[in-house]
Chains A and B, each alone.
Chain A
């Protein structure tokens, strides 16, 4: 059922058509235009009566109202529009849109006859029908339009879907292409489409790139020269363009691309944009480049190889190679280094290449590069450094036949590009390096060969010259043909020049068997010369290789001359022999005669010898030395004694002079020389001469001879001979000497050595005796020894002599003797008998020592010992002496007092077990661990401070002791222990520690508050809470004040106690001080609503007023602090007479303190401060005066005290020679008293002893206006 949209403004026509077409089974649609609707509504109402039923039956469902604006949207809701001019006018714009959208919408225009068809209507309308309407015509036109339209729709739909399909396929195809970037640009060059390939190749996603100009794919340089624009212009001209070049990805990477641009035109030929296809060529480009590189490398290798073949000099070759590598290989630079064997370092041999800077020669031989090269050499492998230079170092190594790898040097190449070297290139370069290495080796081998060849040539030349110059003939023949002969040889053969002989057969000159023999030592042979003369020769032959041919070398020596010489020699020899024979005969006759003479002489000699022998035996037998010398001093004969003395046995001494013997027997050199001198003296004297000669012996002793020398003279006075006789007197001499020595010892002795007869007659007297007794030897010799004995001891002497006669002796007999001057002396005597050789007692020897000195020393020692004992006894330290077993041998009174034992109880007791047996905690103390024991064991000294000794009563006391070993001649014979009781010292130390701890705590407490408050404030955490911040500030300030007070008090107290604060004492009036102190405290009292009553006393005191006021204010301040508001504090003074028996007030009066008191009583000023506070418990009354001791430590916080005030008061009062104390009844109040020595008493309030508490008082009302 076709649907018709009626756009009819004409009411009549609309109604008519509704009616007519509705009956024809069309669905009618009407725009919901308000006027139309209204009219329709009206119409519907009108029609209700007429055609209501009809309309309802047939058309009510077929007429729909639509809104005008939705006409386009419901395009498919109707099939045809019937519109009049006004209707069309009204919906013109929408309809025009519809028409342009190519959607088929047939419009049937209903016109009045008179109406003109306007052009745009013509464009809009598909058919026109004029009024009046013939319904049949209308229906036909409708159907016709509909059928046309349907056809067109069908065809276009068909085509469209096909087109769309293919377009879709194409689009998918394009979009799916991955290898090519395919995208479109609009006319301005901006990207409008983007495929997967583009995304992959260019890196941008579609969202990112759409709308961007395509020039972003070009490198900067291309953009500057306007390449993108030029390419588009080219495309405009030629329709398309293709370009290969660098393009840039999103990530900035460049790649080599092929880019095809083509213009896109619409149907009308208008350009609508460009298509772009980009293909990534980087892989291809890379391959191309690699190929190119490989090609270059191959060409380099090739060129290098050619250079190697051409070249004949190594450095030239290497320089060439460097040049080739740079020129043909297109590398930036290269150099070759060689290893210097001696220096073991790399030396630059050749280099080529240019510097990156303006083409100058650039030094690539830098340490870094050398290092790289050295690495390559070391590893034998190519070594690359990828840095800005891009370097490769290649070892030049050659593997020899034996498989040994030798590294000749290194080739270092610098790449021209930054991408360095790839693997294949490195492989080729490695090959190049191998080739170069091989080339070098080949070149060296070639040069070596040349050198060897020329050396060979030279050597041959030298040999040839040698052969030529040889005086012997040298012939070389090869298979019998002479190939070489020297000039001498040629001459020998009778030829004029060697050439004449060369080529001849050897057999021409030598017997044929000679030609066959290969090796001949020199042997004689005949030689046939060219002139057919035969000469005798000596020849030798040796086979050898001459010019690669087996040959024989023959050496020929002419023997003609030698033979002649031999002949002459033989002749001479013969003549000589004859001569000798004749002479021999002559000699034999002479000899016969001689023999006879000799025999005769021998007989005479034998006779002589026999007599001589007898004499010699005689001489030899005597122990004396006997020697004969001739007139010139030559030894003629010496007897056995002489020979033995000088060890001359077996030596031919005869005929030798003394000097010669001296050099022969150098040990006796001096003896011989002395002998020669004394000989000369004897000669000079001309008669017998006697001397003593000392002859040293090899065993170190000497022999002394008494020598007699007798000179003998010829008649004419010439010297004939000398007889030397000597006797050994060594023993005698020794005995004499010994005697002298002993006598001198006796003489030199300090002791008196006196010899007497058995009757006491003095026979010897040494100088010691002279010294002791005062007599000289002359005075006493021959006198009785009794003159030396005091009269009362004469009997003693008789007894001693008696005893000696019996053979006894006395040793160290101490007695008294008499000096010459009558003084008695203490002596110690050793008396012994003197015996003769037969053992008979013939006398008495007395050795006397003066011991008066010894006695004096002993007395001094005794005094010293006594002194030491006194010192030890009076020492405050305990001193204990121990023997080597640890037993007590000495103890001083201090020690015995400390131990609580009597001295006697301690002596001989083992110290450790007795006094040192346990530790302070009563655990046993083994002796092995004890330092004192150690001192006894190893002689060490110990200083011990942490042990205890034990008393008799079982208690212990801490000691500090030193144990020291007693050494006698490096032996430990005991030990000394000195010790101190350190109980008090420890207590003091403990007190000090406690005080420091308390002070530390007292200082830290306010500091903690300050630190805490300040820390919180500083952190800013309290910014939002000002009231808390304020509180913290208060805490900080209060505690700072407290800290300041505390420090002041501590310093004050210290100054007063240590005496550093000098009290400025003067005479002052007590009343003034009291009133002044009360004035100071008045403000405080008023504030606390306390009444302050003062009873001043007009008394002079000797005091420092400031300090007394300080004491008073301190006490008043305390009283005020501890009093309840409204109560009263009293300050009063009294004069108080006390006797010394009153213990509390018996204060020693300091010298210089002007106090006019009698010895028995003294007058004191007593000051009292009384309150009605809560009182002080009895057990605290003393301790409150100690430092930091308050009744309740919270008091200090509450009342701002430091805990030092009363301590200060006490110190001040004590420094004034007074006392301070407190009395209190808890709950009722306290009274603090202190006393000061009184100076003068002007006004005496009371002459009796008045208890301060009950004393009368003069009240001074204080203003209490608070």
Chain B
């Protein structure tokens, strides 16, 4: 079985790095990164990853806007998207859940458990 490929979209370089290292080391997956929504969409179309980890608070185009864009593109609308958010207020969580994303993971996350959380959300058994 080929390793899963995950695209991490976050404007924070440090978080990208940590998430990438965590998913590679713990999940054993291949990790692609993008620093903005538009870059993420381009990368997703080009690379066709198995899943996308998408930050919510980003300048220009935030997470929900990026997700809406992705949903409009037939080439990537099937890829499950998990929102990564530092917003923890219940109303915001509810708003995100209503978008139709595969799951929501709160920041700060446990790097040793991130891959597990992702796999659990997506129903991946091989981790």
Contact = CB atoms under 8 A, between A and B. Distances in A.
Nearest to A1038: B14
B35 to A, nearest CB: 8
A876 interface: no
Interface string B76-116: 00000000001111001000000000000001111110100
Contacts of B18: 1008-1009, 1012-1013, 1016, 1032, 1035
Contact of A997 (B26, B58, B92): B92
B13 interface: yes
23 contacts: A997-B87, A997-B92, A1000-B86, A1000-B89, A1004-B107, A1007-B107, A1008-B108, A1008-B109, A1009-B14, A1009-B18, A1012-B109, A1012-B111, A1016-B18, A1016-B25, A1016-B111, A1016-B112, A1019-B112, A1021-B25, A1021-B26, A1028-B21, A1032-B18, A1038-B14, A1193-B58
Contacts of A1194: 11, 35, 59
Given A1004-B107, A1004-B108, A1194-B59, A1012 B89 contact: no
A1002 to B, nearest CB: 8
Interface of A: 993, 996-997, 1000-1001, 1004-1005, 1007-1013, 1015-1016, 1019, 1021-1022, 1028, 1031-1032, 1035, 1038-1039, 1192-1194, 1197
Closest 4 CB pairs of A and B: A1012-B18, A1004-B86, A1011-B108, A1009-B14
B19 interface: yes
Contacts of A1022: 21, 25
B12 to A, nearest CB: 6
B112 A1015 contact: yes
Contact of B15 (A1001, A1005, A1019, A1192): A1005
Tell me what chain B mostly uses at the interface: helix, strand, loop, or mixed: loop
B12 A1197 contact: yes
A1008 B17 contact: no
Given A997-B89, A1193-B11, A1007 B108 contact: yes
Given A1016-B18, A1032-B18, A1008 B25 contact: no
Interface of B: 11-15, 17-19, 21-22, 25-26, 35, 57-59, 86-89, 92, 107-112, 114
B86 A1012 contact: no
Contacts of B87: 997, 1000-1001
A1035 B17 contact: yes
> Which of A997, A1015, A1022 has most B Cβ within 10 Å?
A1015
B11 A1011 contact: no
B88 A1032 contact: no
A1001 B86 CA distance: 5
Contacts of B108: 1004, 1007-1008, 1010-1012
Contacts of B110: 1011, 1015
A948 B25 CA distance: 56
A1002 B11 CA distance: 13
A1016 B21 contact: yes
A1005 B88 contact: no
A1001 B56 CA distance: 10
A1032 B21 contact: yes
A1005 B25 contact: no
A105 to B, nearest CB: 76
Nearest to A1015: B111
A1194 B11 CA distance: 7
B21 A1008 contact: no
Given A1022-B25, A1194-B35, 9 more contacts: A993-B89, A1000-B89, A1005-B86, A1005-B107, A1008-B18, A1012-B19, A1015-B111, A1021-B26, A1038-B14
B59 A1193 contact: yes
A1012 B15 CA distance: 8
A4 to B, nearest CB: 80
Contacts of B59: 1192-1194
A1197 B111 contact: no
Contacts of A1015: 22, 110-112
Contacts of B14: 1009, 1013, 1035, 1038-1039, 1197
A1193 B18 CA distance: 20
Contact of A1005 (B12, B35, B109, B111): B12
Contacts of A1001: 57, 86-87
A1016 B112 CA distance: 7
B22 A1008 contact: no
Contacts of A1028: 21
Contacts of A1019: 111-112
Contacts of A1038: 14
Contacts of B22: 1012, 1015-1016
Contacts of A1016: 18, 21-22, 25, 111-112
A1001 B106 CA distance: 11
A1001 B57 CA distance: 8
A1193 B17 CA distance: 18
Contacts of B26: 1021
A1015 B108 CA distance: 11
> Which of B26, B57, B86 has most A Cβ within 10 Å?
B86
Contacts of B15: 1005, 1008-1009, 1012
Nearest to A1191: B59
Given A1193-B59, A1194-B59, A1008 B86 contact: yes
Contacts of A1035: 14, 17-18
Contacts of B11: 1193-1194, 1197
Nearest to A1006: B14
> Which of A1010, A1012, A1035, A1039 has most B Cβ within 10 Å?
A1012
A566 to B, nearest CB: 124
Nearest to A993: B89
A963 B78 CA distance: 54
A1031 B25 CA distance: 15
A1011 B111 contact: yes
A826 to B, nearest CB: 69
Nearest to A1190: B59
A1023 to B, nearest CB: 11
Contacts of A1007: 107-108
Contacts of B86: 1000-1001, 1004-1005, 1008
A1019 B107 CA distance: 19
Nearest to B114: A1012
A1192 B18 CA distance: 23
A1007 B58 CA distance: 17
A1001 B58 CA distance: 11
Given A1005-B86, A1022-B25, A1031 B17 contact: yes
A80 B114 CA distance: 93
A1031 to B, nearest CB: 7
A1019 B111 CA distance: 9
A1192 B58 CA distance: 10
A238 B109 CA distance: 90
A1031 B16 CA distance: 13
B13 A1197 contact: yes
Contact of A1009 (B12, B57, B88): B12
A366 to B, nearest CB: 59
Nearest to A1016: B111
Contacts of B58: 1193
B55 to A, nearest CB: 9
A63 B92 CA distance: 111
A1016 B92 CA distance: 29
B25 to A, nearest CB: 5
A1012 B24 CA distance: 13
Nearest to B113: A1015
Nearest to A1198: B13
> Which of B13, B107, B111 has most A Cβ within 10 Å?
B111
Nearest to B111: A1015
> Which of A1010, A1035, A1192 has most B Cβ within 10 Å?
A1035
Nearest to A1034: B14
A654 B123 CA distance: 122
A1192 B21 CA distance: 27
Contacts of A993: 89
